[in-house]
């Protein structure tokens, strides 16, 4: 991509569109890297930027306070001279004039523009999806609405057995709801993990009263004035007071696409977060990029990536070296059991289970061409940190040694790799 | 309440003197003063990226670590049985005025 041409006045601010994890981290990173120019941070939501992971976990628990955990206290934005404007969106970008037009009609020139608009929950599109009682979970308002609906005895139908669906299933079951999870695939979390891990979490949920229906193709939500049941293609109907759709996310790329930035299910960016248009960066969930590890084109919907990309953007803008790349990692907690993953597994990786899934604590390593590509750790992090290093080094692993949980993962590496 | 004074030893061994404000957890005081504390999970004892070492005399005065915090710490790099804490789990307390905190190695 063309190099930046810093010919325009740096009196213009760096404008950051979106104050989620990545947008806020760009602002913070610019300051910690010594950037002294103005920073304008725009956020569509009215309230101060907040943490999203707790929305599907801690916030839903009985007795948990409604207050969200803010990313940074007000004083931080003040002290760091970050001009944060809530309730404002960008209506249009003029890349040639290096200006943005905001939803309040004002125009702002920018020195650099950073698009950190994130993603939104994929909408359920079947008939009846608009009925009251049907919702997704992405924002704090979504979480509070869901929390109020999860009362003891409520019949909860969850569409999609991914992280969000399963975390909500766990929270709902803990609150005494009657929970059914409808999943099109034949196992939970099929996109992100292997069958042994799926089966372990299915048993864990079932022991806590959650029912699963696999191969379920939802065709409609029915009800007279609010959701009463979810109907599947085989004609079955599942009574529901609450319907949660956890069917993935969609990048908020429309603004960028309209301005002519190259997008392909995500704004295309290079290793430094540069888009196809000079002077404009993108970071976080909204981006698609080429993995430095396996060359795959990917969107990574995780905090680790949101923070790492933000750092690279801040480094590029300030002309400094970024931190070393980090292996992507992810976590979920369901019924108090943590699943933490390092690396991005492929469906045809070799799967080696370390330990016995019946004993709760175990891990699963994934080998690609004999080299460690990813690891899932369940209820224990012993393998997590060593695995991250071995993945980064694309280390060859002895599958027999790796299958023995008593052998440290590092000792399962072949000497010459 | 007035601020605590805080001394931080970073991963290169350099010393930083900070103000720890009453409405901050220790993690927030570190992060908001530009120390390299990732705190990926936002302070919910889920990720161990805010791991610090405290001096044993200080450590011993604190409440016990939760099960979650301990599980994350025991496998973390450089774990100290009588020194390792997740800084997100340490609320401001005037008893902690003047303490020295060492950043644990990065995961």
Name the residue range of residue B80's domain: 4-103
Chain B residues with CB inside 8 Å of A58's CB?
44
Chain B residues with CB inside 8 Å of A53's CB?
41-42, 44, 46
Degrees, nearest 5: CA angle B73-B75-B80: 55
Final residue belonging to a domain, choices A318, A335, A370: A318
Any chain B CB within 8 A of the CB of A385?
Answer: yes
Radius of gyration (Cα) for chain A, nearest Å?
A: 23
Residues 18-47 of B with CB under 8 A from A: 21, 23-24, 28, 32, 34, 38, 40-44, 46-47
Q: Confirm whether A417 is domain-assigned.
A: no
ipTM of the complex: 0.80
> Domain holding B64: CATH number?
3.10.20.30
On whether both A171 and A227 belong to a single domain, the answer is: yes
Shortest Cα distance, chain B CAs vs residue A80, angstroms: 9
- Per-residue pLDDT tens digits for A203-258: 999 999 999 999 999 999 999 999 999 999 999 999 999 999 999 999 999 999 99
**What are the average pLDDT values for consecutive 10-residue runs of chain B, which has 107 residues?**
92 95 92 86 79 96 89 86 96 94 89
Give the bridge partners for A108, in sequence order.
A100
Q: Confirm whether A2 is domain-assigned.
A: no
Instruction: Specify burial of residue A284 (Cβ count, 10 A radius: 0-12, 13-18, 19+).
Output: buried
- Quick one: pLDDT at residue B43? 79
Nearest CA in chain B to A34: B34
Q: Do B48 and A53 touch (CB under 8 A)?
A: no
* Residue of A71, A307, A385 with shortest CB distance to B107: A385
How many structural domains does chain A have? 3
Chain A residues with CB inside 8 Å of B77's CB?
385
- Quick one: pLDDT at residue A6? 42
Chain A residues with CB inside 8 Å of B48's CB?
381
> Domain holding A388: CATH number?
3.30.390.30
Any chain B CB within 8 A of the CB of A303?
Answer: yes
Pairing of strands A155-159, A178-183: parallel
Give the bridge partners for A231, in sequence order.
A220, A237
On whether both A50 and A93 belong to a single domain, the answer is: yes
**What are the average pLDDT values for consecutive 10-residue runs of chain A, which has 417 residues?**
45 95 96 94 92 90 85 90 95 96 95 97 96 96 96 98 98 98 98 96 98 98 97 98 97 97 98 97 97 88 92 96 87 92 94 87 95 93 86 94 93 78
Decide: helix, strand or coil at residue A338. strand
CA–CA distance, A194 with A305 (Å, rounded to integer): 22
How many structural domains does chain B have? 1
On whether both A26 and A113 belong to a single domain, the answer is: yes
Nearest CA in chain A to B24: A73
CA–CA distance, A100 with A146 (Å, rounded to integer): 35
Decide: helix, strand or coil at residue A19. coil
- Per-residue pLDDT tens digits for A66-89: 887 888 888 899 999 999 999 999
Q: Confirm whether A214 is domain-assigned.
A: yes
Final residue belonging to a domain, choices A318, A353, A368: A318
* Residue located via tokens 């009362």: A151
CA–CA distance, A382 with A365 (Å, rounded to integer): 13
Name the residue range of residue A199's domain: 134-245
Q: Do A381 and B34 touch (CB under 8 A)?
A: no
């Amino acid at each position: 991509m063309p190099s930046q041409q810093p010919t325009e006045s740096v009196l213009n601010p760096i404008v950051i569109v979106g104050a989620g994890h990545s947008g806020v981290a760009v602002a913070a990173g610019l300051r910690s890297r010594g950037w002294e120019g103005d920073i304008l941070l725009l956020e569509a939501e009215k309230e101060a930027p907040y943490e999203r992971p707790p929305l599907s976990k801690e916030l839903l628990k009985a007795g948990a306070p409604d207050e969200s955990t803010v990313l940074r206290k007000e004083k931080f934005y003040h002290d760091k001279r970050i001009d944060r404007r809530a309730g404002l969106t960008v209506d249009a970008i003029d890349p040639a004039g290096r200006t943005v037009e905001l939803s309040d009609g004002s125009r702002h020139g920018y020195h650099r523009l950073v698009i950190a608009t994130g993603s939104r929950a994929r909408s359920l599109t079947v008939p009846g999806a608009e009925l009251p009682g049907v919702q997704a979970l992405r924002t704090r308002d979504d979480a509070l609405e869901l929390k109020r609906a999860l009362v003891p005895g409520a019949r909860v139908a969850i569409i999609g057995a991914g992280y969000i669906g399963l975390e909500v299933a766990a929270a709902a079951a803990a609150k005494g709801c009657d929970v059914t999870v409808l999943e099109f695939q034949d196992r939970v979390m099929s996109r992100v993990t292997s069958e042994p891990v799926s089966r372990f979490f299915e048993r864990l949920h079932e022991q806590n009263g959650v029912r699963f229906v696999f191969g379920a193709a939802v065709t409609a939500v029915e009800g007279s004035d609010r959701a009463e049941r979810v109907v599947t293609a085989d004609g079955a109907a599942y009574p529901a007071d609450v319907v949660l759709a956890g069917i993935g996310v969609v990048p908020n790329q429309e603004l960028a696409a309209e301005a002519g930035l190259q997008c392909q299910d995500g704004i295309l960016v290079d290793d430094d977060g540069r888009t196809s248009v000079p002077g404009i960066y993108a970071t976080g969930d909204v981006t698609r990029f080429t993995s430095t590890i396996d060359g795959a084109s990917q969107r990574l919907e995780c905090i680790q990536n949101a923070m790492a990309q933000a750092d690279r953007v801040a480094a590029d803008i300030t002309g400094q070296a970024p931190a070393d790349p980090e292996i992507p990692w992810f976590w979920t907690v369901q019924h108090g059991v943590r699943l933490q993953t390092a690396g991005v597994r492929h469906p045809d990786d070799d799967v080696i289970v370390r330990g016995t899934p019946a004993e709760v604590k175990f891990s699963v390593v994934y080998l690609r061409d004999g080299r460690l590509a990813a690891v899932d750790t369940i209820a224990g992090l012993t393998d997590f940190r060593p695995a991250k290093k071995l993945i980064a080094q694309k280390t060859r692993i002895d599958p027999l040694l790796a299958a023995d949980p008593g052998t440290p993962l590092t000792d399962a590496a072949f000497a010459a790799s | 309440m007035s601020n605590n004074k805080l001394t931080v030893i970073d991963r290169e061994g350099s010393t930083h003197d900070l103000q720890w404000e009453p409405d901050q957890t220790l993690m927030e005081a570190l992060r908001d003063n530009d120390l390299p504390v990732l705190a990926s999970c936002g302070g919910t004892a889920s990720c161990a990226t805010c791991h610090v070492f405290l001096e044993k005399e200080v450590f011993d005065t604190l409440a016990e670590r939760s099960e979650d915090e301990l599980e994350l710490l025991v496998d973390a790099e450089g774990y100290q049985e009588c020194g390792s804490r997740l800084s997100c789990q340490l609320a401001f307390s005037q008893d902690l005025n003047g303490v020295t905190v060492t950043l644990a190695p990065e995961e």
